[in-house]
Structure 1
Amino acid sequence: MTNCAKRAPEPTAASVPASELECMQRAMYFESNRSSRDGMIAVGSVVMNRVESSAYPNTICGVVGQKNQFAPGVMTKAMQLNTAPLIPGAAKAVAQGERHPRIGAAKFFHAAWYKADFNNMHYVVTTGGNAFYEKRKPNRVTNPRPVKATEGLTGG
């Protein structure tokens, strides 16, 4: 007799409420500069890292709607998704479990042009106009500056 543990089913876009998918789309629309699928998936990966962390709300809308965390008006400004046709598919892909391969545990990002001056920022990827990073103890930071921008690492 074998002992096979049942795995939880992979999430599907259908198992994520439409309102949560819209919040993910909003984060991608207003934060990824609508410039690349990699940038959208990276933003979505950060959102999901926060959802999975006990330090943040446990819903996509809760994370995206947190005060002073995402672009001003992210929850209220109008989106023109016809100008960003990749966003609905990218939001569904993240809801189904896709993550940017270099995001890891990163929960933070800023515009790639911004020069931050903190000693606890460990950069993992720059894509879609943003630099993504983990906060670490200063002695564990090995990439203290944004890494060279890369694109084309996500499927789709």
Structure 2
Amino acid sequence: MRNGYARRGCGWLATGLLASSLGGCMLTGIDTAEVKPNAKVVATPTSADRDCLTRAMYFEANRSSDEGLLAVGTVVMNRLDNASYPASVCGVVGQPKQFAQGVLTKPMRASDQERIERVADALLAGKRHKGIGGALHFHIAGRTYRYPNMHYVAATGGNRFYVKKTRDGDMPERAPDAVVKTASGLVPIKVAFAEATP
């Protein structure tokens, strides 16, 4: 199941966001310049990971605007990039006390599914909320915390997003985008599961 998308001939990915960069579900012209030094190597996203990402956005952004969904999803993907967090989307979303209680088990309304999956697909294809930057944290917008290390970067989808400053009060460096180890070497997540044969 680890290579779920790849083994099904690129599945949902080939039908939408990355279709223009795929050649019969075989990746052509991988840009190795996109692979940055010290990038965290993570598991190839599977259909289960897509579901976990969808669930995090569904329960944390209150099914708000696409912008709010994208912001929560960006935090999930930022954590996937960061060495302090698990090496899979489901690992990140399933960490205890990090996301809404029951995020991986509560039922979701079918009427919301298609729109939220579209945002999840965009995130897995490399899209990020520009206002979030490298933020790894958020909380409900109605609360205010005055810790000196909290630097707020955005408020959307009923949440406020922030970066934790270093002990010296500096903004932390953003982690390089995570990569996946494939038969062709290390490639960005957004292209990794398009490389395998159907």
Q: TM-score normalized by structure 1?
A: 0.78
Secondary structure at 1:109 match in 2? strand
Counterpart in the other structure of 1:136:
165
CA deviation vs aligned residue, 1:15-46 (integer Å, no higher than 9, x gap): 73111100000000000111110111111110
1:45 corresponds to 2:69 = no
Q: Deviations over 1:45-86 (max 9, x none)?
A: 100010111000011000000000000000111111313542
3-state SS of 2:138 partner: strand
Query: Cα offset for 1:8?
Result: 4.3
CA contact (8 A) 1:27 1:74 kept: yes
Q: Within 5 Å, which residues of 2 pair with 1:69-148?
A: 69-83=98-112, 85-137=114-166, 139-140=169-170
CA contact (8 A) 1:23 1:60 kept: yes
- Please report the TM-score for the alignment, with normalisation by the length of structure 2: 0.62
Q: Write the distance in 2 (CA, Å) between the matches of 1:84 and 1:117.
A: 36
Figure out how many residues of one structure are paired with residues of the other and give that number. Answer: 133
Percent pairwise identity: 46
The structure number with the bigger radius of gyration is: 2
Map of 2:92 onto structure 1: 63
Output the CA distance in 2 between the equivalents of 1:132 and 1:126. 6
- Aligned residue for 1:86, secondary structure, equals helix
User: What is the RMSD computed on CA atoms of the aligned residues?
Assistant: 2.2
Q: Residues 120 and 95 of structure 1: is their aligned pair in 2 closer, same or farther, counting only changes over 3 Å?
A: same
| Cα distance in 2, alignment partners of residues 70 and 19 from structure 1 | 17
Go from structure 1 to structure 2 and tell me whether the alpha carbon gap of 1:45 and 1:22 turns closer, same or farther (over 3 Å shift).
same
Which residue identity is paired with 2:111? N
Contact 2:80 2:89 in 1 (8 A): yes
Say if 1:81 and 1:87, in contact at 8 Å, map to a contact too.
Answer: no
State the secondary structure of the residue aligned to 2:155: strand
1:34 partner letter: R
SS at match of 2:108: coil
Q: What SS does the corresponding residue of 1:132 show, helix, strand or coil?
A: strand
Gap change, CA 1:49 and 1:65, over 3 Å in 2: same
Deviations, residues 101-140 of structure 1 (Å, cap 9, x unaligned): 1111100000110111311111111011100010003734
Q: What runs of 5+ residues in structure 2 fail to find an aligned partner? A: 1-28, 35-43, 172-198
- CA distance in structure 2 between the aligned counterparts of 1:17 and 1:85, rounded to whole angstroms: 18
Q: What is the match of residue 154 of structure 1?
A: none
Q: Which has the higher strand share?
A: 2
